Structure formats: structure tokens, C-alpha cells
């Protein structure tokens, strides 16, 4: 099952960018298009001497949304911030993040570091799987792939180091600031050719009992549900 989408983009001579997106979705049972399921969004991106800025207005699954974004240089840093209201009809449905990154030369290697704070008011401070039910804001956004976490406040850190011209290693860590559980990915990438690459890594979850990444109690199955630690490897060829 797919979505029908119309996309229009216009780039001005000054580098500003207008975009319009219209996504038509159909009822899975009747096969008919449903206005309450569609998405229509307009975004304006403008460039100034002080930074880049975005304004978005949208109607998404029957909710009116507005979003603001900015990115600017501050010395050697790049600072980005985004603010989104998922539903203008309520006051407690905001999502925002602040991100900064820095690139430098360390021991003759190219290194890139970032730190990011993410807040989502649709999440839960004390996560209870039994309350994440169909029809709730959190459930619906998880089901649509708009969110991938259950809590409200997160801190992310990342470091990427280019070992050679063809290989790099990276570490990403994400903390749930409410329950102090975390999720880490350590990865390695080697590019044999422009369209052939190999990557491998290790994914680890850590936290106490009844935490998002340590394991949440499922009262229905009377068991703990936790993110599995794993090792992965992938060989990819693009053509």
C-alpha cells in the first residue's frame, strides 16, 4: 500500500526555496481517499547573511501544524534549532530540538562531533506501555513512523572519525533524560568503490528495570520488553 503525492518546488534567484506537498491517502477498507488522512504542507526556506530559516504550515491527519527552523554559524560551530506544533488546537503538543556540531582536525584525522537535545510533549515522563493505546497521540505517531521513542526528553551525542580516505568509525549515544537509560551504536564503514561499501557495528542498550532502553514491563504479557543488543554487518552495492 502506497501514498499518492504531489510535490512542487520553486527556487528564487536569491536562493530562497518554496515547496508545496500534497499527500493523498486512502482508507484501507474502502479504498477511497480520506480528507482526514491526507497531508498538505507548505514550506518557505530563506537564506540571509546571518543564517538559513524555515517556516512550515501544514494540515496533517486532521490537525493544523506550524513549524519553525533555523541554522547558523557561531564561530567554528553550526547551530540548528527546530520548533513544531503538532496541533494548534491544544497547548501541550510541541516538539523541539537544538543541535550543534563541530568539525576539526585531530591527529591528522577529520573529526566531527555533535550534541543534540530533543523534547517531545506527546511522550511520557514515566513510560507505561499499558497506556499507549490506539487513538492516543503517542501511539498514532509511533504507528505512522513520525516518532521512534516513548519519552519526553533526550540527549544525543555523536563522534565520527575518518581513519583513512576510504574508512571511518563513528559512535552515537542517546540518553533518555527521564529514566537515565541509553542506547549506543558503534559503527565502522569502508568504501571499496564509489558505489560499493561495507559497514559493520555494535548496538547496545543499557538501563535499569522498567526503563525505556533497559526494559519496560508489559502488564499484558507479564514480561519485560527491551531493545536487543546486536551486531550487524552490511555489504551494499548501488547501481
What's the Cα-to-Cα distance from 84 to each of 81, 91, 118, rounded to whole Å? 10, 12, 12
| Phi, then psi, of 233 in degrees rounded to 5 | -150, 140
At 138, list the grid cell.
503517542
Q: Residue 222: what pLDDT? A: 65
Give yes or no for residue 228 having a pLDDT over 90. Answer: no
- pLDDT tens per residue, range 108-134: 899 999 999 999 998 898 888 888 888
Helix (H, G, I), strand (E, B) or coil at 32: coil
DSSP string, 53-86: EEEEEEEETTEEEEEEEEEEEETTEEEEEEEEES
Per-residue b/e over 144-182, b at no fewer than 16 CB within 10 Å? eeebebbbbbbebebebbeeeeeebebebbbbbbbbebb
- pLDDT tens per residue, range 58-75: 999 888 999 999 999 988
Q: Residue 221: what pLDDT? A: 65
| Bigger pLDDT: 44 vs 214 | 44
| Bigger pLDDT: 35 vs 169 | 169
Give yes or no for residue 42 having a pLDDT over 70. Answer: yes
Q: Residue 34: what pLDDT? A: 77
- pLDDT tens per residue, range 145-191: 888 899 999 999 999 999 999 999 999 999 999 999 999 999 999 99
Give yes or no for residue 76 having a pLDDT over 90. Answer: no
Q: Residue 220: what pLDDT? A: 65
Q: Residue 2: what pLDDT? A: 56
Predicted structure pTM score:
0.85
What is the percent of the chain with per-residue pLDDT over 70, rounded to a whole number?
97
229 with 203: CB under 8 angstroms? yes
Question: Which range among 103-107, 194-198, 199-203 shows the weakest confidence by mean pLDDT?
Answer: 103-107
Mean pLDDT of the chain: 90
Helix (H, G, I), strand (E, B) or coil at 182: strand
Amino acid at each position: 500500500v502506497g501514498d499518492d503525492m504531489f510535490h512542487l518546488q520553486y527556487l528564487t534567484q536569491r536562493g530562497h526555496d518554496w515547496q508545496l506537498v500534497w499527500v493523498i491517502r486512502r482508507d484501507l477498507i474502502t479504498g477511497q481517499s480520506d480528507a482526514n488522512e491526507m497531508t498538505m504542507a507548505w514550506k518557505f526556506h530563506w537564506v540571509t547573511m546571518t543564517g538559513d530559516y524555515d517556516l512550515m504550515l501544514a494540515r496533517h491527519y486532521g490537525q493544523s501544524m506550524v513549524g519553525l527552523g533555523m541554522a547558523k554559524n557561531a564561530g567554528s560551530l553550526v547551530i540548528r534549532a527546530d520548533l513544531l506544533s503538532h496541533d494548534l488546537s491544544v497547548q501541550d503538543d510541541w516538539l523541539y530540538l537544538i543541535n550543534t556540531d563541530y568539525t576539526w582536525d585531530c591527529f591528522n584525522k577529520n573529526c566531527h562531533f555533535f550534541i543534540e537535545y530533543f523534547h517531545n510533549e506527546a511522550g511520557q515522563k514515566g513510560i507505561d506501555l499499558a497506556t499507549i493505546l490506539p487513538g492516543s497521540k503517542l501511539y498514532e505517531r509511533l504507528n505512522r513512523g513520525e516518532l521512534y521513542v516513548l519519552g519526553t526528553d533526550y540527549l544525543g551525542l555523536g563522534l565520527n572519525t575518518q581513519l583513512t580516505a576510504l574508512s571511518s568509525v563513528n559512535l552515537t549515544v542517546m540518553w533518555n533524560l527521564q529514566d537515565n537509560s541509553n542506547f549506543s551504536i558503534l559503527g565502522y564503514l569502508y568504501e571499496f568503490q564509489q558505489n560499493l561499501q561495507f559497514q559493520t557495528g555494535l548496538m547496545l542498550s543499557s538501563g535499569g528495570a522498567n526503563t525505556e532502553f533497559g526494559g519496560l514491563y508489559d502488564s499484558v504479557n507479564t514480561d519485560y520488553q527491551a531493545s536487543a543488543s546486536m551486531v550487524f554487518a552490511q555489504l551494499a552495492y548501488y547501481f
